[in-house]
Amino acid sequence: MADDTIAAIATPLGEGGIAVIRVSGPDAVGVVEKAFRSKKRLSQVESHTVQYGHVVHPADGERIEEALVTVMRGPRSYTAEDVVEVSCHGGIVSVKKVLDVLLDGGARLAEPGEFTKRAFLNGRIDLTQAEAVIDLIRSKSDRAFSIALKQVDGALSRKVKSLRHTLVETMAHIEVNIDYPEHDVEELTNAFIREKCEFALDAIEEMLRTAEQGKLLREGIETAIVGKPNVGKSSLLNTLAQDNRAIVTDIPGTTRDVIEEYVTVGGIPLKLLDTAGIRETSDVVERIGVERSRSAIASADLILFVVNGNEPLSDEEESLLEELKDRQTILIVNKMDLATHIQMDALYRRLPAERIVRLSAKEGEGLERLEKAIGALFFSGKIESGDITYVSNVRHIHLLKKAKASLQEAIEGVAALMPIDMVQIDVRNAWEHLGEMIGDAVSDSLIDQIFSQFCLGK
């Protein structure tokens, strides 16, 4: 447990109906009690109760705010320490005044993520659960939220701990045979080690199989909307975002810079980048926009190449299509509400049919075909569901790959009849890599780095 008490604003700054200041530590109740006046003293109230009263200046009793104060004594709290939450009116000035009084009363301003860090250090959650908290906050879709929630609940932790238990059993069996070689039956021992390692390897490979899906659902697919001016790129962005995020006119070259927007298409989060129309231009500002469009294309996971179905492909579009055909590209033939003058047969010879989508961004028609095309391109037509435990964190994926490599070496060592004490080294390495996932034997610097990504008050 930490020996000091921390405080921070737990809700977003700005105007709102309510704001919450969170206080945690051994003197959390005492710090708030100094500045809170109600019918009962906070030190005398039961845990997990709410008290109505006023926040005052301790020196002269001047009222600062009307508030509700919730007392949660450890270990039954978010941090497993004493936690007090002060709920007051959601205004910038009022919240700052309340926080200042609490800091003057002995609390220290919390660092980013320090509340969750204390929950981890105090053993209430492990590192995978702690990292899932920030994923929960940053979720861009229902599916990403669901993945993060399962990890906060410990679904991934339980699976990793179960695998580590299997490897501990394996190491214990090896240790017995090292200490008492006269009782060792080499063939049975090797069969036992191989069986346990193959079981753990299969489980890790299953998690890695869905890891790419999990990563995309967590972070979103970076998607560049490209095409020449006035083909409907901005209309497509607005339709997908269900908002007028981009200016739409009949004047070519309206979009001069890259416009960014998060949307969810068929349960898949997309980070949409509406780019400037790609064409030769003498306009200095537009030329910079075109260069940025090229940069967005280079870094994108998915490219939505929009063309106007009401007219034939231009030479620039022919060239761009050839350039993008080997990328993760979906060709969108827009303006299907108008007469079709583009040569569809020629397009089908250039790209597979499932990567060509006809729609009308203006009318919002054909979007379900776009959803299906994206799903087929990235998720083999469907997103895994049910009891699948997604691994979406890059750190976790890296450690699982290292554990997998160690187990493969252990299995190969058994097959080559290597001494079992040598095989045990690989089994232990796999066990340690899995331990790093949940926070066993992890460095202080890594812990600091992970929690520094959190917001204040979390």
Most confident of 48-52, 435-439, 442-446: 48-52
Does residue 194 have a pLDDT over 60? yes
**Please, what is the angle between helix 127-138 and helix 114-121, to 10°?**
150
Kindly list the strands in the beta sheet with 36-38, ordered across the sheet, starting from the edge strand earlier in the chain.
36-38, 49-56, 63-72, 83-90, 16-24, 6-9, 108-109
Answer for the pair 357, 365: CB distance below 8 angstroms, yes or no: no
- Tally DSSP H helices, then E strands, for the chain: 16, 13
Kindly list the strands in the beta sheet with 221-226, ordered across the sheet, starting from the edge strand earlier in the chain.
259-265, 268-274, 221-226, 302-308, 329-334, 356-358
Answer for the pair 45, 28: CB distance below 8 angstroms, yes or no: no
* Predicted pLDDT at 280: 53
211-226: pLDDT as tens digits? 877 777 777 788 888 8
Distance of CA 338 to the CA centre of its chain: 41
Does residue 396 have a pLDDT over 60? yes
d(CA 408, CA 147): 28
318-356: pLDDT as tens digits? 888 888 888 889 999 988 888 888 888 888 888 888 899
Q: What is the pTM of this model?
A: 0.67
DSSP secondary structure code for residue 301 in this structure: S
Q: What is the share, in percent, of the chain residues with pLDDT greater than 90?
A: 34
d(CA 64, CA 93): 10
d(CA 344, CA 18): 56
Listed range (82-96, 231-245, 247-261) with the worst mean pLDDT: 247-261
* Predicted pLDDT at 87: 96
The token pair at 128 is: 């995978």
pLDDT band per the 50, 70, 90 thresholds, residue 270: confident
Helix, coil or strand: residue 261: strand
* Predicted pLDDT at 273: 80
pLDDT band per the 50, 70, 90 thresholds, residue 59: confident
